[in-house]
């Protein structure tokens, strides 16, 4: 059995975790950086990179201490090598390279999106390939066919904003603070989802992709009228997101061979309304629904260690010359989607 140390630093969470290939999470240490970025209403890349540099080594030490281990017990060192804020990615990757070089253990360069994509398999031993994955995070909104480790077909992506980005911008417009997703969900719990007329971008469109930019603009316009309660706008926005995701999911599922499981991953997968809609959809289509626990949805080290474990088991390790990648699509062969701000 292999024991993998995994490091994550692609956005505003610094994390280190130790996972064994039998799915045992031996330790996971995480430090959020909300306090560093709150005053700016969003993640400031340079501040994030500096915070990662300060936090990473103590977190690795904490994870080893929690597991009662030393580096001698580790079989390979995995780190997010992209995509993400490049300064932060470099901190985690360089730390992993230094540890790999000092110990002579292999390095595994993990695609952050693969970390999210494989995370459900860390908690569900029965989840076999292939499965249908809705990946919804701060930077991405994609529907993927997960064929195996390192093997993905991108079925759909957003042509403008990512869904988490739409949550974050809505929170900012409504003055709900940062980070935005959980704040919008909390406000929505006290609101009327039918109170504010908002669009459902691309609903019914004869293409598979997602779009959220128009929804965000509509939230701004609704808020500026001064007619609506913040809670009602939040609830109406969340309902619009649920409706769009469902419509787009239905479009793709109607046009592909049936897969045994529908899986959701990424930070937005922490949203209860979205999880409920997906669970209902899966049931209606005779698919099993798998969603990681909330802490495993948002960025963390365990998902990187687990992706490292999967890659290690497949014999996939990387050289110390691996270069951090700001952009790194899971499916390099996907046809480009229209739209200026396409998130690969």
Query: Which residues in this chain contact ligand KG4 in the complex, by CB under 6 A?
Result: 11, 137-139, 164, 167-168, 179-182, 185, 266-268, 270-271, 298-299
Stretch that binds Zn ion, among 167-175, 234-242, 293-301, 326-334 (CB under 5 A): 293-301
* Other beta carbons less than 10 A from residue 54's beta carbon: 11
Residue from 14, 111, 119, 137 that binds Zn ion (CB under 5 A)? 137
Identity of the residue, 15 or 155, whose beta carbon is nearer to Zn ion in the bound complex: 15
CB under 5 to 8 A by kind: which of Zn ion, ligand KG4, none does 201 bind? none
Using CA of residue 162, residue 238, residue 44, residue 324, what is the dihedral sign? negative
Rounded to an integer, what distance in angstroms lies between the CA atom of residue 44 and that of residue 327? 18
Q: What is the signed CA dihedral for 92, 98, 103, 104, rounded to 10 degrees?
A: 100
Residue from 12, 13, 299, 318 that binds Zn ion (CB under 5 A)? 299
Residue 14 within binding range of Zn ion, rule CB under 5 A:
no
Cis amide linkage into residue 130, ω under 30° from 0? yes
Rounded to an integer, what distance in angstroms lies between the CA atom of residue 103 and that of residue 81? 20
Rounded to an integer, what distance in angstroms lies between the CA atom of residue 137 and that of residue 157? 12
Identity of the residue, 299 or 318, whose beta carbon is nearer to Zn ion in the bound complex: 299
CB under 5 to 8 A by kind: which of Zn ion, ligand KG4, none does 329 bind? none
Q: 305 near 6, Cβ under 8 Å?
A: yes
State the nearest-atom distance from the C-beta of 73 to Zn ion, in Å.
Answer: 27
Identity of the residue, 3 or 11, whose beta carbon is nearer to Zn ion in the bound complex: 11
Q: 299 near 11, Cβ under 8 Å?
A: yes
Identity of the residue, 102 or 186, whose beta carbon is nearer to ligand KG4 in the bound complex: 186
Q: 136 near 269, Cβ under 8 Å?
A: yes
Residue 114 within binding range of Zn ion, rule CB under 5 A:
no
Binding site for Zn ion (CB under 5 A): 137, 299
């Amino acid at each position: 059995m292999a024991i993998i140390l995994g490091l994550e630093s692609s956005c505003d969470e610094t994390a280190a975790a130790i996972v064994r290939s039998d799915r045992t999470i031996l330790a996971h240490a995480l430090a959020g950086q909300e306090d560093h970025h709150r005053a700016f209403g969003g993640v400031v890349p340079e501040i994030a990179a500096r915070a990662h540099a300060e936090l990473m080594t103590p977190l690795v030490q904490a994870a080893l201490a929690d597991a009662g281990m030393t580096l001698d017990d580790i079989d390979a060192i995995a780190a997010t090598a992209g995509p993400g804020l490049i300064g932060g990615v470099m901190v985690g990757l360089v730390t992993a390279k230094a540890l790999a070089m000092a110990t002579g253990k292999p390095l595994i360069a993990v695609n952050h999106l693969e970390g999210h994509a494989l995370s459900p398999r860390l908690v569900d031993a029965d989840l076999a390939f292939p499965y249908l994955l809705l990946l919804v995070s701060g930077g991405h909104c994609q529907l993927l066919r997960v064929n195996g480790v390192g093997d993905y077909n991108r079925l759909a992506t957003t042509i403008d904003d990512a869904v988490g980005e739409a949550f974050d911008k809505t929170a900012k417009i409504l003055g709900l603070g940062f980070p935005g997703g959980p704040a919008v969900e909390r406000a929505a719990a006290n609101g009327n989802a039918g109170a504010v007329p908002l669009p459902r971008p691309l609903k019914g469109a004869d293409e598979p992709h997602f779009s959220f930019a128009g929804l965000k603009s509509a939230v701004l316009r609704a808020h500026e009228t001064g007619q609506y309660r913040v809670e009602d706008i939040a609830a109406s926005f969340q309902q619009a997101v649920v409706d769009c995701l469902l419509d787009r999911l239905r479009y793709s599922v109607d046009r592909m061979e049936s897969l045994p499981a529908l899986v959701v991953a990424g930070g937005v997968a922490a949203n209860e309304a979205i999880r409920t809609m997906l669970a209902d959809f899966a049931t209606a289509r005779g698919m099993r629904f798998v969603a990681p626990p909330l802490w495993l949805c948002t960025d963390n080290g365990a998902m990187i260690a687990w992706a490292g474990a999967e890659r290690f088991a497949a014999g996939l390790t990387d050289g110390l010359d691996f270069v951090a990648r700001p952009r790194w699509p899971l499916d390099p062969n996907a046809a480009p989607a229209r739209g200026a701000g396409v998130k690969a």
